[in-house]
Chain A
Amino acid sequence: MSERGGPLIRFWGQLWRWRLRFGLGLALGLVTLLAALGLLALSGWFISAAALAGLSAAAAAQFDIFRPGALIRLSAILRTAGRYGERLASHDAVLRLLSSLRSQVYRRLLPRLPSPRLSSGELLERVVADVDTLDELPLRLLAPVLWALVVLLTVLGLLYWQSATLMLRALPWLLLGAVALPLLLALLASHLGAQQRRHAGERRDLLIESLAGMISLHLHGVWERRRQLLDAADQRVLDAQFRQSLATAVGQALLAGLLGLAVWSMLTGGVSQVKAGPFLTMAVLAVLGLQEALAPLPAAFQAAAQGRAALQRVNELGAEPPVAAFPPQGPQPSRTPELEVRGLSFRYPGRTHGLAGVDFRLPYGRWLGLQGESGSGKTTLARLLARLLQPQQGAILLDGRPIEAYDEPTLRRTLHYVEQQPYLFNASVADNLRLARPEADEAAFWEALAAVQLDAVVRALPQGLETLIGEYGAGLSGGQARRLVLARAVLARAPITILDEPFEGLDGPTAEAVMAGLRETLDGHTLILISHRPVGAQYLDAVLRLEARAD
């Protein structure tokens, strides 16, 4: 929980976890490539040998056509089945990898949330997209490189086995094409990729700022000039992308050329070719067939650069410190905990005002109202109590012990904080409620919904409790969403409940009815109510007025 710094996810560790499944995909891919190569090379050897045998009727009659024929058929079958199996195995492995990466990202990010930096919607969207990009690394970098290497070595071995001269004549060209060229392209790709990402970032910033300021730009008659700036920024990105795709294209053309030259070099060798006989055909076709295994290499490193950049961005989030440190195991508070706050101060960096020297003691079962101007620190106090912030001075005591002593599950069980901006998940009403008490049954749901005047609304939904809500499902109005979150508080029945502006978006009578429902269900438990409206004042045992202080 308290890890600080370091990378957010262990990508290679997770990859290793799925090694058997990836291994199966790799093996099948290798079988496919070798079968394709073997099919062609064997066929070449077969017809050359047949041609030689065909010169004399006796030799032709003795020619064994069945063994090569069977091998050729086997290659054809292996190639087809291998391709299909490889596709399935490697996609299955990648999907499993992404699944475990997502869990890991979530697990590691959770202690760091909510943080002002990480909580921006755009950043989280990017994290989601970046994690999905990580499949590039195994699929488009590791597998092709490994395959290329094994297939290349196999072909070189085959050449060496029959004729070292042939192997040596092909070797320089093959090394140029399979080693030097990809390495060169890898260097170029990381340089061009970084350049392109930089330009793309600038282009995006410029566009967003131009859209935001569009009216002023129009009124000042300078929109056209802006357009030119935008076009220039776009052109820089397009140029960089063009250079990248050109590098890949030239790389692929060079690879094809180098394989051609390897064949040329083998064929111009002299009399040793005559000795090689039918094997020469096999060698030439094997070298030409390398194309299939080597062709993904030029693009592989471009994909690798993207995947690595995504991995780096995700891992940079690990630098964000967790919002609060919890001990792994803490004491248990009593069932009737008392809350005490002593000299509590907190000021957000860069602000002139904040919470300063707050003191109060809240025996169990009391209801406390927190009031004050906006900016006086009501929400800050609530967040300090919920340990979403660390106090700069003072202490919060729960049953006489500093609140920092309790472990997180215990604290969350003891203290239920309902934030001002409720979040509902894209899940059913029941699932959203169940979060408060997983073991609750349907009757408990309806009781909690009735307490917050929401039972009729949910009954009227197309699928009742099972209706999906949130972004994708039937929407609830702002006031209904808020009440659903209050229903969670009712379900949880925590010893201490903190409600932050629970009546926003509710009209007067509804707010009073909700408050009465809360009283009915939560009476006897401690409650802290932050509200600028006078709703429910009759239930409060005490009111604390906060004042913004510049300390």
Chain B
Amino acid sequence: MKSLIFRGRLFLTGLHTYRFTAAVLTRCERTNRSHGEQHDCCPQTSLTGGTLEFDPRALIYFSRSSRLLHTSATTPKMSEQSRNSWIKKDDPKLVSAKQKDFFVDMLDDRRHASDFHYSTRVRDVTTYKYNKPRSPKDIKDHVMQSDRVKYAVEKVMEESGLPLEEVMKQTQAILDEMAHNLRIGVIRCFAFFLVKVMKKLFQRIYINEEGVQKVRSLLKEYPILLMPSHRSYLDFLLMSYVFYEFDLPLPVIAAAMDFMGMRFFGWLLRNSGAFYIRRSFGDDMLYWAVFTEYIQTQICNGDSPVEFFVEGTRSRTSKSYAPKFGMLSAALEPYFKAQVPDIMIVPVSISYDKILEEKLYAYELLGVPKPKESASGLFKARNILKEDFGNVHIYLGEPVSIRQYSVTGNLDRSVHSLAPRYIVSLSDQEQHLIRHLSYDMVIQQQKHMVISPFAMIAAVLLQNREGIHLRNLVREVEWLKRQSSNLGAYIDWPVSETPETVLRASVSHHGNIVQITADDMVELIVEDPTITSNQDKLMTSGAQQLMLCLYKNQLMHIFVDVAMIAISINSCAQDTLHIEELKKHYKFLERLLNIDFIFLPGNTDKDFEQAMLVLTHTCGVVVENSHVQIRKSTNKYTTFFSQMFDPFLLGYWIMCRCLKSMQTGAHGKPLAKPPKVITKEAQNLSATLLRMGAFKHMEVLSLDMMNNGLQSLYHMGAVQKDKREGNTYMYPNEVVLSQIMDELSKFVDVPNIPATSINVETKTVVINAKL
């Protein structure tokens, strides 16, 4: 007979009967059948109170939890307890690392049990109520025979004149390239190794279990879309791991074609549920049809939860990327066409203490060509298994019902009644709703990101680039922590440790970027000691700083709204600033930052009001008679917040500057260039200015920032687009561009470039040539 303390979280199934005394539940066990699921109650026991029967369906089962608890817990004897016999460890400072707020560590049990048993255990999986079991092959067959594909095939035949067999062959090829081959056998093998890898890589993998429960209960009722944030390759491995762990059907995952190139890894992923989507397929009708049908049939039949990354690709900056809509549109279409009663979308936030690919990202942002993903590149590159990547937090957010989401939007789905559903496309209203939803989902992801102490260290350090004493760092980080927390961020901060210990641990964890010197100064490591080649020094130290930015960026979305106000306040030359004027600035900045940061479309006024409330209530901003009192309001808060965003404004200014200097072609119209060329040129300009010592923010070397700036300028009308031979070319609209530059220079100190090169276009050519 074994007993266990009934703590907050215990997962059981099978019919267990518990006999309990005052505080200790003892579980009687006569048989423990093969999978540890069914237990009968043992009649002989002395400690009997009443009998509690648990409804097994109401609770979740972990085969491992019962096993673990049986081996680890020991029965305390009542007589030996001096006081409060229900307390097991008499230490108020004791903090469970396994159980942290609403998170629980998934790895903990794996560290105490057999991986083999784990990977071969029986999984009792819930499925969608209207699901008809199908194999991956059945799904493919369905796609080939579907009305949508047949229709597209006919169209293609008409247009190209190709015979049916040829077009069908093409279709089959597209499908073969795309389709997953989810096989439980492969999954089990994969699980076996994956768990070993995860245990090596991470200390703990936390998951909010309530979120899992919600997904489980919805799985039976409605098709599910999973929408994780995308910061690392590991995202989808982790997601599949979670679903394996919790006995949920394994998701099928929309992956980019890059992975397919990897020989073993590509195969492995395909067999564990990845399907491959080309990054862009424009107006390839056949591809569209196969892709749409392939996604939709799996949603309609609820074969598996469908997982995809709304950001489209891994974020190299740890900021959320602006969402892409194609995949979501395709996935939600079955609801709008009433093929399913509803679809549930689950935003998932995956936060890493330390990102596996941090260095790769930094070089990618700088424009050092990214090595093609290969299995060896992924796993051998940095002796990764020897490194410690800290904790991962996975938060399954509140599922969003597309029905409820669109009911309030007053959407009329009957517009699709007038043609077969495989022909008609979504209405403008529906597309608008999907855009809105996409942004909303990214915001939900952000909201549940877990902020690591290092993010705050990075933010402080980037404003004290020469280094900061540990004592001051502690003070600053504590301040920043309070601000973040006030703005709703969840911060991963061990309460049982002193702040200094936390910071030291955190810094040493990121020893490749920051260090603590002997006299307790914390500083950025400017030179990467591992790099021996004679690379450009600016670029290597830029990479170091960009890595730091990567972590600082975890914080940015929290502050962006208040910062956009703080920027106007801090840069205001007058004594007072009218609220409306401030709002105008806010709107301008929002449009400008709209690609780099995520704003809910149409919500600007509310965001502004909300941010104003925060600033006036907790950050000392003073408003009298609808006028912000600038002198009283310029303080540590506004200064810190606005400085966080300085590099972005500076970067955009450089982009403007670069656009301004573009060569004029015939008829006075600037020569159009491909966006890539323009961003590269802007980066070169940044580099020159950095070398000149005009400023110190090396973040402006990021091509990503330059490109986002360019896209923003395009949306604001300062840049125009041409399609030439299928490629995009861009050229500035001088008037708008100048206006934006003027505005920008009000908000941020811009470097003083020698007059000759500013005004005269011919001179600028010289500068460009020099760069």
Asked whether A and B interact, the reply is: no
